[in-house]
Each structure stands twice: as structure tokens, then as C-alpha cells.
Amino acid sequence: MTAPAEFTTLIGGVFAILVVATGVGQVLKSRMGPDNDVVENLIARINAWWGMVVLLALAMLGGQAGVVILFALLSFAGLREFLTLTAKRRADHWALVVSFFVILPVQYALIWADWYGMFSVFIPVYAFLLLPIVVAVHGDTDGYLTRVAETQWGLMICVFAASHVPALLSLNIPGYEGKNVLLVAFLVVVVQLSDVLQYVWGKLIGRHKIAPRLSPSKTWEGFLGGILSASAVGAGLWWMTPFSPFEAAGLALVITLMGFFGGLVMSAIKRDKGVKDWGHLIAGHGGFIDRLDSVVFSAPIFFHLTRYFWSVA
């Protein structure tokens, strides 16, 4: 597939930002000395961003296949982190095997096949009725509801919600044919930029904590500054979407709000389970879910809003 012209512009912009960030990181390193932990973490984060951007860009160049495969792998990595922390017993073995090796691949196959009627009910209806049965026939009732519910929520977050990112490619928007991959780019750029901007605003002027017990680093100043500036950037990216600047701003606002609350919900789960990060595989960022939490909460909402108001069946 040939990438739309807008894609090249966007990637150019993102690369420019990363080049600047890398430069700033190196300057800080030479000023503060090589042993500064904050700078070390910043540089690790920026390097990981390079990896993520290159991976995402390659997937998008691969068109639908690339994006579906990338998100199937991300779902796998996320589900692995999530189910590592959930309650489980020997009797859950088959339910877990089915989750990883049947439900996840089938969900992504349905996305690939553009079968909207099925991929939107497969997990919340079929998987959610099948899994409790698989667990129940093993007869172990200790913590039954907790075990089943936690496994199902892992599927909901890491597979169902995440799969709505590649599902954007199946939308049929008049006058926007062949450009759907830009919807994925719009969603991911706005959400991730919002995370970064909330962090930056919070570091610069953050005073009043929103939920100190959940996440000590989230402040009202960071929240408002991040949400508003990311929405403004979203509006400025209207040229790559089927939306007007005003509509792009509104959708970006919804995306960033959902992203913020997604992060908050996932922090609550981490607190409950007594861990700081979901995993350890992305240097400076923790696990895959630590990076994806805001995307998975905003993706289904962005998908449905776009589908109802812009797409024809």
C-alpha cells in the first residue's frame, strides 16, 4: 500500500520532535553529569519513544495487515502483564490457555475480516459466557467469581478495547478512502502527546494533586494543561482527518479525557495489586500496559463516535 501524503508530513513532524528531545536529553546529560537518575530515566524514555515510533510507522506502512498484527502482539504483551497479576488457581489453566490462544487470535481475525457485528460482541458475549463455564467444570470454587471476573476484565481491557485501534481501518468514510490509517495515527499521537504534556505541565506548574492515593504525580495543573494543549494539537491535525478543525478539537478532547481516566483506572488496579509498573520490558516506561492504558480506554469511544457520525455502513 502507498502511504497517504499526510502520513509523511506527520512522521516528519514526530521525528523532528524526537530529534529535539534527544538533543535536549544529551545537553542535560552533559550539564548534570552521567549519574543523574532523572536524566537517565528521561533518556531511556526518549530512546523507547524512538523504538515505539519506528515500530508504529512501519506497521502503518504495512497497511491493515501491519496494524492488525502490531496490535495483536501488543494485546498479547498486555494480557500477559495483566493476567500475571490476577487471581488464579490450577483450575483456571484452560481458561487462560483459551484466552491467549483462542479468544485473542479470533478477535483479531474478526477485526481483519471487518466483521463489525461479530467483533463487537465476540468478547463481551461469547467469551464471557464460555470462560465461566470452562472454569466451573473444573469444580474449584475458591474465589471463583474473583478469578473469572479478573480474567474477563483482562480480556476486556487488553484485547477487546485495544483491538478497536486497528478496527478504525474498517470504517468506510466517504471521501476518505485509503486514508484510514491516519485515524490510527491521529488517535495514537493525540493520546500519547496528552500523556507527555500532562507530565510536562505537571512538572512545570503542578501543585494540587488530583488523587494522591492513586497516583501522586497527577495534578490538576498537569491535567488541565495536558488535556487542553493536546486537544489544541489535535485540532491542528485536522488536515489528516475527515473532521473539521472544530470537530477534531472536540474528538481530541474526548480522547484525552478518556485517556486520562484510563490511566487513573489502571493505577487503581496497580495499587490494588501492590505493584508500581505492569512489567519491565520497556526501559523507562515499565510494561506495555503502562504505555497503552490511555490508548485502550479512548480507542473504543473514538471508534464509535467516528463510526456513528462519519461512516456509512
Partner 1 sequence: MLRKALPLLAGNAISLFARVVTAVRGVWQGVEPVSRQRIYFANHSSNGDFVLIWTVLPPTLRARTRPVAGSDYWLSGKLKTFIGREVFNAVLIDRNPETRRDDPISQMAEALDDGASLILFPEGTRNTTDETLLPFKPGLFHLAQARPDVELVPTWIDNLTSVMPKGKVIPVPLLCSVTFGDPLDVVENEDKAAFLARAQAALVTLAEEVTR
Q: Give residues in contact with partner 1 (CB under 8 A).
A: 76, 80-81, 83-84, 88, 90, 93, 96-97, 100-101, 274, 279-281
Longest dimension (CA), the chain: 63
Which residues make Cβ contacts (< 8 Å) with residue 309, sequence separation at least 6?
none
Beta partners for residue 282, in sequence order: 286
Q: CB of residue 73 vs partner 1: minimum separation in angstroms?
A: 12
Gap between the Cα atoms of 108 and 153, Å rounded: 17
308 sits in which H/E element: helix 288-310
Q: Which of 118, 149 has the CB closer to partner 1?
A: 149
Q: CB of residue 41 vs partner 1: minimum separation in angstroms?
A: 18
Closest to 63 measured CA to CA, from 214, 178, 216: 178
Q: Which of 93, 304 has the CB closer to partner 1?
A: 93
Q: CB of residue 107 vs partner 1: minimum separation in angstroms?
A: 16
Q: Which of 78, 225 has the CB closer to partner 1?
A: 78
**CA distance readout (Å), 248 to 35, 183, 252, 253:** 43, 11, 6, 8
Q: Which of 91, 296 has the CB closer to partner 1?
A: 91
Q: CB of residue 24 vs partner 1: minimum separation in angstroms?
A: 30
Q: Which of 154, 225 has the CB closer to partner 1?
A: 154
51 sits in which H/E element: helix 37-61
Q: CB of residue 154 vs partner 1: minimum separation in angstroms?
A: 11
Q: Which of 96, 156 has the CB closer to partner 1?
A: 96
Q: CB of residue 80 vs partner 1: minimum separation in angstroms?
A: 5
Closest to 236 measured CA to CA, from 13, 59, 2, 60: 13
Q: Which of 73, 301 has the CB closer to partner 1?
A: 73
Gap between the Cα atoms of 57 and 189, Å rounded: 12
Which three-class secondary structure state does DSSP give residue 171?
A: coil
Gap between the Cα atoms of 137 and 61, Å rounded: 45
Q: CB of residue 121 vs partner 1: minimum separation in angstroms?
A: 25
**Residue 204 burial by Cβ neighbours in a 10 Å radius (0-12, 13-18, 19+):** exposed
